[in-house]
Amino acid sequence: MKSDCMQTTICQERKKDPIEMFHSGQLVKVCAPMVRYSKLAFRTLVRKYSCDLCYTPMIVAADFVKSIKARDSEFTTNQGDCPLIVQFAANDARLLSDAARIVCPYANGIDINCGCPQRSLEKWMHLHFSAFRILSSLPVIYNSLVHVFALQRWAMAEGYGACLINKPELVQDMVKQVRNQVETPGFSVSIKIRIHDDLKRTVDLCQKAEATGVSWITVHGRTAEERHQPVHYDSIKIIKENMSIPVIANGDIRSLKEAENVWRITGTDGVMVARGLLANPAMFAGYEETPLKCIWDWVDIALELGTPYMCFHQHLMYMMEKITSRQEKRVFNALSSTSAIIDYLTDHYGI
């Protein structure tokens, strides 16, 4: 978020108000906050394929407020990147409200991570860069899961993320402080949560957040301890039935058909997708697998926006997971330069 481009990145018109979208009666299709992945280039791509609302990767509010370097590296946007929600990890109401005031001119709202605890990219890369380079040679899905689980343990220990579902008063305080500090009309304050074993506690948390002025709630239908277990869509439905504000359903949605089915059975106002969009950024447009046009769109967007090579390559590894053979994966995953990737794509798939 460099100062020389602030005027060109302000989302002045805010043409698509998320709250109005949630009250339209139509399925609102949301790109989840994903560490390393849901940055500007990927958000630009999924918006081309019917994604209605995008979140940034999770940003640690304390770092964002205290460090200009963190602000410049963690948050990049442009005028087309709208509507946009900036997700923060926070356990301090004052720091969160300070962070919200900084991003307010450039986004439609902020979200408090109370569900899927993950670490900011900058800190994580500093501490785990060597491990990341080793893991990046492994199958991409395994690579992602290893990272997510490690980050979840860190965030829980630091008092961020899923542990906040056990601290409703702190969540209320953070929402209140942002509401008091940010006076921009229509600026949203949302939370993303996991569920408790005792669902009554989750409903109570959500009702307290609603009473404090939270704009909507995203519910990942698993507990903080669950990993591969089936998503409890019935629990999301119960939460929605007890709320007056919009609710977004999240968890294991891999196609537009699945998204529409979850939307119907939960009665929610939207669905949020993470890994499904990584594997197929055109998912919300109804494609069953990533179309070649989407792959080339990614190349164009990534090169235009200056996406780092590792991110550029890994997104393609996800997108091509279902459309390449095992031998092709080995060759493609071993490529080490942008020019080699473009040559490979041209030779195998044309332009």
As annotated, the active-site residues are: 116
293 vs 329: CA distance, rounded Å:
19
Which amino acid is residue 222, in one-letter code? R
For residue 99 the two structure tokens come to 């962070």
| Best CA proximity match to 192, nearest among 272, 98, 260, 108 | 272
DSSP 3-state of 35: coil
37 vs 46: CA distance, rounded Å:
12
Distance (Å) of CA 196 to CA 139, 152, 165, 232, 240: 32, 16, 8, 11, 15
State CA 349 to chain mean position distance: 30
224 vs 221: CA distance, rounded Å:
10
Alpha-carbon dihedral sign for residues 189, 184, 10, 125: negative
- Using an 8 Å Cβ cutoff, are 234 and 257 in contact? no
Query: Tokens 């977004």 label which residue?
Result: 248
CA count, 13 A, side-chain hemisphere, 275: 12
